[in-house]
Amino acid sequence: MTTAPRAAKTRTVHRTCNLCEATCGVRIDVEGDRVVRVRGDDEDPFSQGYICPKGSTLGALHHDPDRLRRPLVRRNGRLEEASWEEAWRAVDAGFARVFEAHGRSALAILVGNPVTHHLAPSFYLRPLIFSSGTRSLFTASTVDQMPQHVVSGLLWGDPSAFPIPDIDRTDHLLMLGANPIASNGSLFTAPNLPARIKAMRPRGARLVVVDPRRTETAERADEHFFIRPGTDVFWLAALLNVLFAEGLVDLGRLEPWVEGVDEIRALVADLTPERVAPICGIDAATTRREARALARAAAAAVYGRLGVHTVEFGTASAWLIACLNVLTDNFDRPGGVMTTSPVASRIDDREPGGRGWRMGRWKSRVSGRPEVNGELPAACLAEEMETEGEGRLRAALTIATNPVRSYPNSDRLDRAFADLEFHVAVDCYVNETTRHADVILPPPSALEEENYELTFLSNAVRSFAKYAPPVFEREGPADEDLYAKLALVLRGEGPEADPVTLHETLVREAVESLVGDPSSPIGGRDAKEILAALEGHSPVGKLLDLRLRTGWQGDLFGDKEGGISIAKLAEHPHGVDLGPMVERFPARLRTRSGRLELAPPELLADWKRVRAAFDQAVAAATAENGGSVEERSLRLIGRRHVRSNNSWMHNIEPLVSGRSRCTLLVHPEDAAGRGLVNGATCEVRSRVGRVRAEVETSEAMMPGVVSLPHGWGHDVEGMRMRVAKGHPGVPSNVLTDDARMDLASGNAVLNGIPVEVVPVAS
């Protein structure tokens, strides 16, 4: 007699989804070693049950047969599975060879944004970069938000203090170049943005969206205005012009700490709504009405994201957004924009003032572009790899990044990667970039790791904390072992180096630094006592627990009853909500002057570039021939979809199935004028490349603007992502131009690219 197999017992675990910035709480049902269901966690006080289509695929991602579980090493030109021992020997030998031949400056380290969802990189990336001895660090920041870092660094002295729109309390939210209904928020952690936006209207709050496409967010807004890509800076200047001209400037509580108001007044003095209207495409009356609405709302917030940051004046746009918030008394005020008080951080708001913030401490070799936040511009990477001479990049360490799809002029970069002498990738897939690697080291699955969204809870609309232990046993080394070992191998300690030595050093140094600092909440305590209290945690758990327990809500290792620690959070698996954002300025000012410096010299210098472009645009708009060839061309912008996340989640069938979303959106008038037919194929040409895409005519596009999503193009030789290869899509970064840059921050220009679109004969 045969007996039916007993069904595995189902257990439910609670975690935070690590796939985007929204930090939604999820309930994961597990049977044995399988995830059987992922749902939103109704009891999570921050996300309240919301989950998007990506979150429900956390199990599919974990079980994806194409996800690497063992290292790959190149043998006879082919990537083959290898033991960890063999992989480490190959990493050690390859780096040693390059360092010997070209020096350590020949190494580029590239980091992608998935690392920001994992604990180990938060603590181990800095020592790893330091061990490498290279200054050639490139990250996703310069294809994304570097303008905001520059503005935060120069205006208030802290490049990581982002102004977060207080969406739950605002009366008026002006949003430019952002589509949170699709992206779920960016530099703005607020799970369930659809519900938060929906809740605005019943309380009388207004949402105004400015975007060259009538996006999913614009569809839900009270008003939407089309704007020509890349011209936001002029429109923002016109809003400021109205505030000054009509006496609407109000600095409120922060007035004694704000400097530079007169300089801003002078900058925008002649940029009236009437003058900018033909450039931006927004009529003067609308601009005046919006400026008055911002000034008169009980609380208003201006928020701009990718569409205003990844353009040639990204920093100037972020700057003027900050000016609008400050000059309407909406900076650091409930319902305006505020900064988060993360649970895992101290609030050491003493007197305003500090060491300030600097950029340009070193420069890129070929174009002389300044470092910002310790990074060089992604748009400079290819030239640094290709150009002969001392310091030429000949090796790469890529960590959870796919620059051959996410950086501008990606075909050029593809060739540059193919030409490297050595390449180590930390990645879970063989994708467009890692197919060039000599060694691929797979990190553990997110479900095999402890879970605390350290980075994104620092940009959240509420102070929130949630910790979860791993769901499954690991198949390979822990994330922190991988990073520690890489750091030690880069330092030259050989393939047998024991990561434990670095773990112990990092924990000991962190504790000694805190007990030795009289201003720390555990200053003067016995380091041994603190180290003993951290025992029982993993290395990364110890570092997290130290941050939590010495944070502003921490238990201070027994000195504050009921305070936060990992043990305390373990009692609250749905998370702990500690309230909305609170006023932190002027005490949070870290500029040398101790003032909010509204007009720093670096940005005033960059303004000359903005003015020159404005004068050129005015001349082009009024020229008899209707403008230069470039002005007459179509402008390409990107777009997001809720089922996509940059380039790396296209190997999950439920996220890519159905009709292709990788179409070129074209306004019907533009299509008719060029003989483009809905559903037919067209060729899109830019200065640097050309791609073919299906035309989708859409009234949602501003005339003169076309849109293609980014992160696609999965049909290249050598990739090992079977589902993605079946849904390859179109690689938009073949068209984006690495010669265009926001010079103030080094940020790449991914929006507003001049393109020609022509029909392709069937």
Rounded to an integer, what is the distance from CA 302 to the centroid of its chain? Answer: 19
Q: What's the CA gap between 86 and 495, in Å, rounded?
A: 9
Minimum separation from the CB atom of position 116 to ligand SF4 (A): 13
Nearer to ligand SF4, 180 or 704 (CB): 180
Q: What's the CA gap between 693 and 682, in Å, rounded?
A: 6
Regarding 510 and contact with ligand SF4 (CB under 6 A), the answer is: no
Regarding 57 and contact with ligand SF4 (CB under 6 A), the answer is: no
Regarding 468 and contact with ligand SF4 (CB under 6 A), the answer is: no
E strand segments, 489-543: none
Nearer to ligand SF4, 156 or 162 (CB): 162
What is the DSSP code (8-state) at residue 173? E
Minimum separation from the CB atom of position 18 to ligand SF4 (A): 7
Span from 16-24, 140-148, 235-243, 625-633 in contact with ligand SF4 (CB under 6 A): 16-24
Nearer to ligand SF4, 114 or 442 (CB): 114
Minimum separation from the CB atom of position 51 to ligand SF4 (A): 4
- The correct pick among 17, 125, 227, 237 for binding ligand SF4 (CB under 6 A) is 17
Minimum separation from the CB atom of position 463 to ligand SF4 (A): 18
Nearer to ligand SF4, 51 or 137 (CB): 51
Q: What's the CA gap between 621 and 628, in Å, rounded?
A: 9
Closest-CA residue to 445 (of 24, 22, 23, 118): 118
Nearer to ligand SF4, 138 or 162 (CB): 162
Regarding 24 and contact with ligand SF4 (CB under 6 A), the answer is: yes
Nearer to ligand SF4, 22 or 151 (CB): 22
- Which residue has tokens 């019943």? 202
Nearer to ligand SF4, 646 or 698 (CB): 646
Nearer to ligand SF4, 117 or 369 (CB): 117
Regarding 54 and contact with ligand SF4 (CB under 6 A), the answer is: yes
Instruction: Tell me whether strands 34-40 and 25-31 are parallel, antiparallel or unpaired.
Output: antiparallel
Sheet harboring 395-399: ordered strands across?
Answer: 78-81, 72-75, 439-441, 422-426, 395-399, 107-111, 137-139
- The correct pick among 184, 341, 646, 697 for binding ligand SF4 (CB under 6 A) is 184
Regarding 757 and contact with ligand SF4 (CB under 6 A), the answer is: no
Regarding 55 and contact with ligand SF4 (CB under 6 A), the answer is: yes
Query: In the beta sheet, which residues pair with residue 394?
Result: none
Query: In the beta sheet, which residues pair with residue 580?
Result: 462
Regarding 208 and contact with ligand SF4 (CB under 6 A), the answer is: no
Regarding 655 and contact with ligand SF4 (CB under 6 A), the answer is: no
Span from 46-54, 386-394, 501-509, 707-715 in contact with ligand SF4 (CB under 6 A): 46-54
Minimum separation from the CB atom of position 56 to ligand SF4 (A): 7
Q: How many CB atoms lie within 10 A of CB 220?
A: 18
Minimum separation from the CB atom of position 649 to ligand SF4 (A): 9
Regarding 52 and contact with ligand SF4 (CB under 6 A), the answer is: yes
Minimum separation from the CB atom of position 710 to ligand SF4 (A): 17
What is the DSSP code (8-state) at residue 457? G
DSSP letters for 531-599: HHHHTTS-HHHHHHHHHHHTSTTB-GGGTSTT-B-HHHHHT-TT-EEEEE----TTTT--STTSSEESS
Minimum separation from the CB atom of position 140 to ligand SF4 (A): 16
List the interface residues with ligand SF4, window 63-92 (CB under 6 A): none
Name the residue type at position 716.
V
Name the residue type at position 645.
N
Kindly state the number of chain residues that form the binding site for ligand SF4, as judged by CB under 6 A. 12
Regarding 20 and contact with ligand SF4 (CB under 6 A), the answer is: yes
CB 87 within 8 A of CB 437: no
Span from 17-25, 120-128, 167-175, 347-355 in contact with ligand SF4 (CB under 6 A): 17-25
Token digits of residue 29:
């049902």
Span from 50-58, 227-235, 372-380, 459-467 in contact with ligand SF4 (CB under 6 A): 50-58
- The correct pick among 22, 176, 221, 416 for binding ligand SF4 (CB under 6 A) is 22
Regarding 23 and contact with ligand SF4 (CB under 6 A), the answer is: yes
Distances (CA, A) of 26 to 19, 44, 187, 290, 576: 12, 8, 21, 39, 15
Over its C-alpha atoms, the chain yields an Rg (Å, rounded) of: 26
Nearer to ligand SF4, 54 or 667 (CB): 54
Q: Which residue is nearest to ligand SF4 (CB)?
A: 55
Minimum separation from the CB atom of position 207 to ligand SF4 (A): 19
Half-sphere exposure of 513 (CA within 13 A, CB side): 10
Q: What's the CA gap between 573 and 576, in Å, rounded?
A: 8
Q: What's the CA gap between 647 and 284, in Å, rounded?
A: 39
Minimum separation from the CB atom of position 464 to ligand SF4 (A): 13
Regarding 730 and contact with ligand SF4 (CB under 6 A), the answer is: no
Burial of 391 (0-12, 13-18, 19+ CB in 10 A): middle
Span from 18-26, 222-230, 336-344, 670-678 in contact with ligand SF4 (CB under 6 A): 18-26
Element (H, E) at 700: none
What is the DSSP code (8-state) at residue 254? G
Helical H runs in 297-378?
306-309, 314-327
Q: What's the CA gap between 281 and 580, in Å, rounded?
A: 37
- The correct pick among 13, 51, 227, 506 for binding ligand SF4 (CB under 6 A) is 51
Q: What's the CA gap between 232 and 176, in Å, rounded?
A: 8
Q: How many CB atoms lie within 10 A of CB 615?
A: 10
Span from 1-9, 51-59, 444-452, 590-598 in contact with ligand SF4 (CB under 6 A): 51-59
Minimum separation from the CB atom of position 452 to ligand SF4 (A): 14
Minimum separation from the CB atom of position 583 to ligand SF4 (A): 28
CB 721 within 8 A of CB 651: yes
Element (H, E) at 712: none
Please give the residue ranges that form the binding site for ligand SF4 (CB under 6 A).
17, 19-20, 22-24, 51-52, 54-55, 184, 191
